[in-house]
Amino acid sequence: MDTQTYTFTAVVNKQGTQYRAFCLDIPADGYGPTPEAAIVALKQEVMPSLDEALPGCVRCSVLNLEVEVAYQNRPVQVYPFTAVIWPDGDWFVALNAEAGVVSQGETLEHAVAMIKEATQLYLEEMPNPDYGHPQIITFELEPSKLEAVHA
């Protein structure tokens, strides 16, 4: 019997003391104390819904964006960030991979504008975030092997 291996792409970034792994192909994420643990948690999140999710699997766009933020009594600073944008029904959802800010728009361009605005507002309240730059990684799932582990 042939087994199918599925390859997915994920963004891994630090959020506080935890790492978050966010799948770019299927709306799912996992958290852990290390990047590796976050990927393991993500795989466990993706596996149960793999058969249902694959027919509707969506590809995300990853964009490098920046916003200008004016902090109180400080000069304007430029904040670069990674935006992950995917279609969700008639809308596009946008995620700032570093800060975890989420927004949406009716078009891709509108979603980009909205995630920039949401990020700007967030940073005006939470200056000097220490999220680092996310890692874009790929991982594979082979349902037959994982089903044996979870049985």
- Give dist(CA 108, CA 46) in Å, integer: 25
Q: Which of 50-59, 122-131, 132-141 has the highest mean pLDDT?
A: 122-131
Sign of CA dihedral 26, 142, 136, 20: positive
Q: Please give the share of the chain, as a percent, with pLDDT higher than 70.
A: 70
Q: What angle do CA 149, 7, 116 make, to 5 degrees?
A: 115
| Number of alpha carbons in the 13 Å side-chain half-sphere of residue 107 | 3
State both tokens at 97. Answer: 């991979």
Query: pTM surpassing 0.75?
Result: no
Q: Which of 32-36, 53-57, 127-131 has the highest mean pLDDT?
A: 32-36
Instruction: List Cα–Cα distances, 90 to 22, 87, 97, 109, 148, in angstroms.
Output: 21, 7, 22, 14, 38
- Give dist(CA 120, CA 23) in Å, integer: 24
How confident is the model over 66-76, as pLDDT tens digits? 888 877 777 78
How confident is the model over 82-109, as pLDDT tens digits? 888 878 889 998 888 777 788 999 998 9
| Average pLDDT of the segment spanning 30-59 | 76
Does an H or E element contain 131, and which?
none
Return the SS3 of 109.
Answer: helix
| Average pLDDT of the segment spanning 9-32 | 83
